[in-house]
Amino acid sequence: MSTDPKPGADHPHEVENLDNHECWRLLRSVSVGRLAVWVDDHPDIFPINYKVDHGTLVFRTADGTKLQAATGDTPVAVEADGVDADNGIAWSVVIKGQAAPVKNQQEVLDTVGLLLFPWQAGKKEHFVRITPDTVTGRRFKVTPPLTWWTPLDDATRSGYE
């Protein structure tokens, strides 16, 4: 863990920067993230379900924009996050790196063994491995919803009433 103060009652606005080990532990604790890619002349984001595999992330997809953009020459990013509802502590982890199709026969067989089942129905025959260049994460206390109010909230609401 980082030496930064843990977020909580004593440090409600502190952000804890997470070490590499904690980032990977958190990535293994969830299975859904957002894949950011560059498509033509703009960024795009796709939800993916993934598995952690020896310091990489693996996801399945079909032919299409996501596959083409992810496995091109441009690096990708994946963000996954979560929140502990009991203590109100949230976390976010981002990996940035290069994605490549899994093609080697033994690697395909090993990847199938990850039991990676897409949520959306359809033919998802392509496995893609993201090898990160950087892994960063942070943890913070979620602000109570009542503190989200701003004077603009009333002005916006009064326009609808």
Q: How many helices (H) and strands (E) does the chain have?
A: 4, 7
- Please, what is the Cα angle at 138 between 4 and 130, to 5 degrees? 135
Decide if 36 contacts 43 (C-beta within 8 A). yes
Look-up of token digits 């089942």: 117
Is 33 exposed, middle or buried, given 0-12, 13-18 or 19+ CB atoms closer than 10 A? buried
47-102 residue pLDDT tens: 999 999 989 999 989 999 999 999 999 999 999 999 988 899 999 999 999 999 98
106-141 residue pLDDT tens: 565 555 555 566 666 667 788 899 999 999 999 999
Instruction: Give 20's contacts (C-beta < 8 A, 6+ positions apart).
Output: 135
115 three-state secondary structure: coil
* pTM of the complete model: 0.77
